[in-house]
Amino acid sequence: KSQNIIDTLSITIGTNPQQFFHYFDLSSIGLEAGDKVEYFFEVWDNDRINGSKSSKSQLMTYKVPSLEEIDKQTSESNEAIKNEMEEAIKEVQKLQKESEDLNKKMVDKKELSWEDKNQIKSLLEKQKDLQERLESIKNENEQKSLNEREYKEVNEELVEKQKQLEELFEKLMQDEELNQLFKELQELLDQVDKDKVNEMLEKMKLSNEEMEKMLDRNLEIFKQLEFESKLEETINKLTDLSEKQEQLSEETLDKENETEELKQEQKNINQEFDKVKKDIEDLDKMNKELEEPNSFDKMEDQQQNIDNDLQESENSLNKNQRNKASNSQKNASQK
């Protein structure tokens, strides 16, 4: 469906040329995934004698991503975030090891050497880089969630779980104890109290151990949320396909409908089901990567039964056996 919207802009009479700035909220027109907006500017002169004449700008287009494009973007974002979280966990582990090694190295020393101070400075820089990486991961996760919800309806339970994950990321970023340790270590570098530095390094190691546990937990929650979101999407796709197939079974019996059009629609449904089968494979893989996998059955026998009915529907339409095709379509829809 299409709709025309006219938005009047104000200009300053008698000023030529002039600039204008105009904001239009696209959410106000209820855009959905896959929709397209075409827009242009048009201006009229005030020639009252000969009649107003108008001039148009070029036609410009804004296209909302389709559901398939949104799913692809979400999948790519999820992979990127998981990879970055795994890298952050490795970095935390390295920092723990460096803190421990540096602490051991200074046990028998009476005071901090120039080299020791430089190593501690390097450690603090790496810790700062890690905090920035975590901030980036947190922002990417929030942006991904916003992008996904902008043109797509998301289950309220999943939205709530996403909010809880964002709170955990926030808590990770606001580790006051670790931030205080950074500050104290920085101040101690200008002093000669080696024992206090050792104490701070030991505390940093313990704090990083706690951070690693939190990151591990966040990563697992993220993977579980990714699984549940994709499961919800797959259920919706199957429901939609079932309704399309049921509708097609009724249209097949109506002799006024062209056979070629019915064949094409059946072919489209068959292709969409192939994509759903791929989604189910992806779900199975995601589930197996969890520390505590969900109870998940790919239902391979049911998939094969549906495939058989879909293929039979297509074959029957090719032979113009409409009643037989309609029965197979109805069976596929129910399954």
Sign of the alpha-carbon dihedral angle for 318, 323, 328, 332: positive
With a cut of 80, say whether residue 136 has pLDDT above it.
Answer: yes
Top-confidence residue, 122 or 276: 276
Beta bridge partners of 56: 42
Mean pLDDT of 216-233: 94
Q: How confident is the model at residue 189 (pLDDT cuts 50, 70, 90)?
A: low
Contact by Cβ (8 Å): 82, 140: no
pLDDT tens figures, 71-87: 888 999 999 999 999 99
Q: How far apart are alpha carbons 37 and 35 in whole angstroms?
A: 7
Top-confidence residue, 27 or 263: 263
Q: How confident is the model at residue 8 (pLDDT cuts 50, 70, 90)?
A: confident
Closest among 270, 266, 280 to 321, alpha carbons compared: 266
Closest among 129, 148, 18 to 73, alpha carbons compared: 148
With a cut of 70, say whether residue 214 has pLDDT above it.
Answer: yes
Phi first, then psi: what are they for 165, rounded to 5°?
-65, -40
With a cut of 80, say whether residue 67 has pLDDT above it.
Answer: yes
What residues have CB less than 8 Å from 279, skipping those under 6 apart? 230, 233, 234, 237
Quote the pLDDT of residue 326: 94
Quote the pLDDT of residue 185: 65
Q: How far apart are alpha carbons 320 and 4 in whole angstroms?
A: 42
pLDDT tens figures, 162-175: 888 888 888 777 66
Q: How far apart are alpha carbons 203 and 205 in whole angstroms?
A: 5
Quote the pLDDT of residue 181: 67
Closest among 185, 203, 181, 204 to 194, alpha carbons compared: 185
Quote the pLDDT of residue 174: 67
